[in-house]
A and B are shown apart, each in its own frame.
Chain A
Amino acid sequence: QVQLQESGPGLVKPSQTLSLTCTVSGGSISSGSYYWSWIRQPAGKGLEWIGRMYTSGSTNYNPSLKSRVTISVDTSKNQFSLKMSSVTAADTAVYYCARVTGGGYYDYWGQGTLVTVSS
């Protein structure tokens, strides 16, 4: 059974860089044809797709966040990561990682981690 777990600082100062990691267990991040994705949800609001990384390492990002976001993978640790620069209070949200198949099936989700941007 594949499991995903987000981790990282729960508090980030404005203008700094948010860094989160998603650890994958129960399967190799480098095998199969999957998109390793990040989604976020501000409190009381809807889901927002941030971006994804394919098993090959290629990436796609939400156009509205593209200039500030980088998704990368560390296959040795079976982890993929999200970095978002120049954060503001508007980036305060629960951040989820998810695995997505080539057919668009969001088959596994992490439990989510709350990141608050505040001084």
Chain B
Amino acid sequence: EMQLVESGGGLVQPGGSLRLSCAASGFTFSDYSMNWVRQAPGKGLEWVSYISRSSSTIYYADSVKGRFTISRDNAKTSLYLQMNSLRDEDTAVYYCARDTNLDIWGQGTMVIVSS
């Protein structure tokens, strides 16, 4: 079964940092680009970041540029999101999703930024 499982969410103070992980299984991870998508409580979906298969191409939403860093380890079939300088408005469920068609999603991990 193709699966993505996120971890690393939690409660953090404004200005703090958090690292999210996404473990992939059931497919050849290195064959696919990956994305992070978030959803604030009661709100719609917002794309956060994209990374190509070889990590050679990376894009970020303007709202996180300069604060978040996406990376991947194909040997470990894992995707990461390093989040620094966190703000209240970063509070959301964070999902990892496969390919730009977002055809497989994880279950999400909750990040709460609050003092």
Query: Do A and B actually bind?
Result: no
Chain A residues with CB under 8 Å of chain B are none
